Amino acid sequence: DSGVTQTPKHLITATGQRVTLRCSPRSGDLSVYWYQQSLDQGLQFLIHYYNGEERAKGNILERFSAQQFPDLHSELNLSSLELGDSALYFCASSGQDMNTEAFFGQGTRLTVV
Amino acid sequence: GQSLEQPSEVTAVEGAIVQINCTYQTSGFYGLSWYQQHDGGAPTFLSYNGLDGLEETGRFSSFLSRSDSYGYLLLQELQMKDSASYFCAVKDQGGKLIFGQGTELSVKP
């Protein structure tokens, strides 16, 4: 158990809908990263938050947004969903800003039908 | 931009040694890490190299050469349970933690 909690584990939704994925980092970790992993693909970096502030953005679609709250949990919002958004979405947390050791949650498997 | 290259797949037999290479290009550099991911599971951290040289953790070792922008993960005494995908990762000065596309390791009996 990495200490990172993601909910829900599975999500099935229709095209055009909006969903929210939630991540609770390890206790004390200030950094939260979000990744998208499509079938048999690598981990695509979406966004990084550090202590409530957006720190870095990857190739995140405009339909996607995220935030990190004062209690350090984070949410990833996906809207106007398309079939191609079906993927595993992971969040990871890290204890220090420039540390490359990150702890991953179990992921949310999103299926868009 | 940032990029990491690693082989897409490697096959080895139980008990053997295998090396997975990673070359990277990044703006700013804060070390090279390696992660393991079993099918559909969460990636787990294996090792980190911030400075040149070899880091050893049990059967796994990782090496970094910053001048060559190159590193590798060495797995010894391979076991069937080592069959998984292995990712190298770097962090750039912008704060992105970027992963390679992953190397799928198949360990055969």
- B28 to chain A, minimum CA–CA distance in Å? 11
**Inter-chain contact A100–B41, Cβ cutoff 8 Å?**
no
pLDDT digits (tens, 9 = 90+) for A22-71: 999 999 999 999 999 998 788 999 999 999 999 989 989 999 999 999 99
Dist. CA B109–CA A17, nearest whole Å: 47
Residue A97 pLDDT > 70, yes or no?
no
Tens of pLDDT, residue by residue over B62-92, are 999 999 999 999 999 999 999 999 999 998 7
* Cβ pair A20, A4 in contact under 8 A: no
Residues of A with Cβ-Cβ distance to B95 under 8 angstroms: 48, 50, 55-56, 97-98
Count of beta carbons in the 10 Å neighbourhood of residue A105: 25
pLDDT value for A104: 95
pLDDT tens digit string along B47-63?
Answer: 999 899 999 989 999 99
Q: How far apart are CA A75 and CA B34, in angstroms?
A: 26
Q: A35: which 2 tokens?
A: 């990744």
